[in-house]
Amino acid sequence: VKEHGRNSARQFVPEMGVTAISRLNMEGAMRRGLERGEFSLHYQPKIDLVTHTVIGAEALVRWHHPQIGLIQPVEFIPLAEETGLILPLGEWVLNEACRQQVIWRNHGLPLLKIAVNMSSRQFRQDDLSERIARIIQDSGADPHQLTLELTESMVMQDVSSTLSALRSLKKLGLSISLDDFGTGYSSLSYLRRFPIDELKIDKSFINDIHVNPDDAAIASAIVAMGLSLGLNVVAEGVEKIEQIQLLKEMHCHQVQGYYFAKPMDAAAFENYLIRYPVK
């Protein structure tokens, strides 16, 4: 039986919002939140513009605080990274995504690749691939249906250790996606050497492609480069039909964004999948 500690609850006043909580309270609240099952994953579909089908989903963490309500990751991921809580949280996220994949498989839903976001500290763990292998084995998930999203700046930090980490993750059967692409400084030679499967063009490059020709030129160049390297290229944060038209012209056929769907909880995503065709 979960005990909702009254003492800790008293630290929070609903209307004060998350920004008013001191770092110390926040850290403790997150720790307890993990123990009490206050976190969940929401899922946002990735869409193929040619076939008009769902080709995957990105898992995005949410925190349901008993007093404050729903807390978005921008409010707690940075502190989790600073304090190291990102390690147990990241582990929980991986476990939960694998558990959900198996549930959807058992419900007879079409298999989808689920993408999980990784933090730098998590990615730099010496035993990362062993940990992930164990999670996959314990959950019964299919590693070929699991993608790790790593940011461009993260993988460029220490390229030789990145390379060996990526190789062992690929050996497990996972796919690797380079997230927030365009915001870091990847050298093209590393892009070619890293065993990656996908580039996700950062939303900031997609926002104005329909009004700003320079932005369109940059997006188009990133798409062409990614495709020429044989990578999946995904545009993130697509909100408008005009953006979709341009992305199609650039041959960027994979998109994620509010235009199609916002992230939703597992039950809503399952309903969504029943209504929309899956590749």
Binding residues for ligand C2E (CB under 6 A): 44, 60-61, 72-74, 77, 90, 93, 117-119, 149, 179-180, 236-239, 256-258, 263
Binding segment for Ca ion (CB under 5 A), chosen from 75-83, 113-121, 134-142, 219-227, is 113-121
Token match 């341009």: residue?
Answer: 246
Is residue 152 involved in binding Ca ion (CB under 5 A)?
no
Asked if 198 is part of the footprint of Ca ion (rule: CB under 5 A), the reply reads no
Judged by beta carbon distances under 5 to 8 A according to partner kind, the member of Ca ion, ligand C2E, none in contact with residue 73 is: ligand C2E
Please, which residue, 157 or 271, has the CB nearer to Ca ion? 157
Secondary element (H or E) of residue 150: strand 146-151
**275 is written with which tokens?**
């209504």
User: Which of 34, 175, 47 is CA-nearest to residue 115?
Assistant: 175
User: Of 8 and 62, which CB lies nearer to ligand C2E in the complex structure?
Assistant: 62
Using DSSP's 3-state secondary structure scheme, residue 217 falls into helix
* Torsion of Cα atoms, 155 then 159 then 165 then 166, to 10°: 60
Question: Looking up tokens 């630290």, which residue turns up?
Answer: 11
Residue 207 Cβ, how far from Ca ion at the closest point, in Å?
A: 12
CB 262, min distance to ligand C2E, A = 7
96 binds Ca ion (CB under 5 A): no
CB of 181 to Ca ion, least distance (A): 8
Structural tokens at position 158? 């220490």
Q: In the complex, what is the shortest distance from the CB of residue 106 to Ca ion, in angstroms, rounded to a whole number?
A: 26
Least Cα distance to 77 among 67, 64, 87 occurs for 87
